[in-house]
Chain A
Amino acid sequence: MAVLKTEQLTYVYSQGTPFEKTAIDHVNLEINEGEIIGIMGHTGSGKSTLIQHFNGLLKATSGKIYLDGKDIWADKSEIRSVRFKVGLVFQYPEYQIFEETVYKDIAFGCKNMGLDEAEIKRRVIETAYDIGLPEEILEKSPFELSGGQKRLVAIAGVMAMNPRVLILDEPSASLDPAGRDRIFDCIKAYHKKTKNTILIVSHSMEDIARFADRILVMNNAGVFCFDETEKVFSRAEEISKIGLDVPQITKVFLELKKYGLDFGKKVYTVEYAKELILKNLRERGIVC
């Protein structure tokens, strides 16, 4: 069953002004319970506008959006509860930290949900533990932490609310490789534990390929493709043409194909590429 579903979802910015722009245009999507979805698209393709519809931050100009089969705007007064079920982590969430202590910052969302103190405490401590923040950090000011740690704290605040759907807008932007790996490891661990649905917006096809079940590629306010990761990679050339980065290794294997070396598979990780090449050489008896 689809946890999120859009029907002819359309959003027009500054309607009726000279700056009028259709940011998303008749988008139909179904996202299943427990999936990890990667969302790609160049700047201006509509991806950020789209995700802001999922928790009702933006209201569609036309079209509908369903959470668990229910139109989220059917009863306006219910929209607050939608925001507890669909957690959105913005780009550079560390800039939104404001509390005096890490504990209070992580607890903020849970408090708004009206949970009791004991439950809030349990969730904060558990989430901090899960993402590897040492307990003694909880009483510190978040502003004493490093950039990467601050970002983890901001993400933890949304994770602690245990939303049915967790949406992260470029969670690894401007981190170094070690910081990026840490964030993605936390997200993966969170998914394994909670089985909640996760949507991740990223510019890096390489990063997304490592753990998304399906990839949504947006272009010109619409869906360019929405399919299993491997199938999306089989269209790597077209994707590269709409201004997105395709992993180096995928490009190399596309090039080899032109020389008649078709491995028949979509290659996007180094380990897999190595395996394919060694297998090929072994089968032909070139190496043992």
Chain B
Amino acid sequence: MANIIEIRNLHFRYDADSENPSPEILKGINLDIKKGEFVAVLGHNGSGKSTLAKHLNGILTATSGTVTVDGIDTSDETKLFELRQRAGMVFQNPDNQIVSSVVEEDVAFALENLGVPYEEMRQRVDEALKAVNMYEYRLHSPAQLSGGQKQRVAIAGIIAMRPKCIILDEPTAMLDPQGRKEVISAVRKMNREYEITIVLITHYMDEASKCDRVVVMDKGNIILDNIPEKVFSQVELLRKIGLDVPQVTELCYELKKAGLDISPEIISEEECVKALLKLLN
């Protein structure tokens, strides 16, 4: 599969040209993401993960190095509009990204800006709302929606642009467990059914454990990049940089450390149950 995102030796600091540039936030990132991949990015606050995300649709541009998304160099300002249609972004706070007083108008906002003809706009908005299971709320006021519903409306607004890639920066951090489930299942559907590449920035290990690939950042560097099983079995390292591991992984890791014959690469409840049954029977 071809790469949709290519990051080469990306360095970033704020106010790089001024007399008081900030400390370096990204310190030479190299990362390729394939078309259709579902990638989680983990890291504690200040690790640089949100800064990295903001490079993917040109909100920030590299101090040095290059970021290419679907063939577009993100530092090319003449292509910014095109870039943002192809790589949409969803932020943490659902209340900060809704602009209209009617759900379907909010979803249509970007299409209006892009000058999409009415008939097509109508069709794309309906399709996007159906995709995130919010069609029946199309005439509601966003103010009456729950956090999870608002985030799904925000996602619909992006899907309506028919992007190739969606970057989500902790989209579930402010939601309750039910809202988290709704949003993650909508995102998964975008990936599976619409083949949209997903970059999911999260603090929740259970969300990351269900992705194709997990990238872990610390102090502006990528320190782990592998399938979830391999990443989460690095229990000591993850703890050291202030991250959790899923409880089931931690249990298997601890049992292995106590000398038992159990794989430390267990990330789901089902696998854990199976492994424990084997051990105990």
Contact = CB atoms under 8 A, between A and B. Distances in A.
Interface of A: 42-44, 146-148, 173-179, 203, 206, 243-245, 247-249, 251-252, 255-256, 259, 261, 270-271, 273-274, 277-278, 280-281, 287
A270 B45 contact: no
B255 A174 contact: no
Contacts of B280: 256, 261, 277, 280-281
A259 B274 CA distance: 10
B200 to A, nearest CB: 15
A173 B146 contact: no
Contacts of B250: 270
B276 A277 contact: yes
Given A178-B243, A273-B251, A274-B258, 15 more contacts: A43-B146, A146-B45, A176-B203, A177-B44, A206-B247, A243-B177, A243-B178, A245-B177, A248-B206, A248-B246, A249-B248, A256-B273, A256-B280, A261-B280, A278-B255
Interface stretch (B111-119, B127-135, B155-163, B168-176): B168-176
B244 interface: yes
A203 B174 contact: no
A177 B242 CA distance: 6
A176 B174 CA distance: 12
A141 B260 CA distance: 53
A261 B177 contact: no
A42 B273 contact: no
A255 B273 contact: yes
Q: For the side of the interface on B, what is the size category?
A: 35 or more
A90 B105 CA distance: 32
Nearest to B257: A274
Nearest to B270: A255
A-B pairs, 10 with minimum CB distance: A178-B242, A174-B173, A245-B177, A248-B247, A249-B247, A176-B44, A177-B244, A255-B273, A43-B176, A176-B45
24 contacts: A42-B177, A43-B146, A43-B147, A43-B176, A146-B45, A147-B45, A173-B174, A174-B92, A174-B170, A174-B203, A176-B203, A178-B242, A203-B176, A206-B247, A245-B177, A248-B269, A249-B251, A251-B269, A259-B277, A270-B247, A270-B250, A274-B251, A277-B276, A287-B259
Nearest to A244: B177
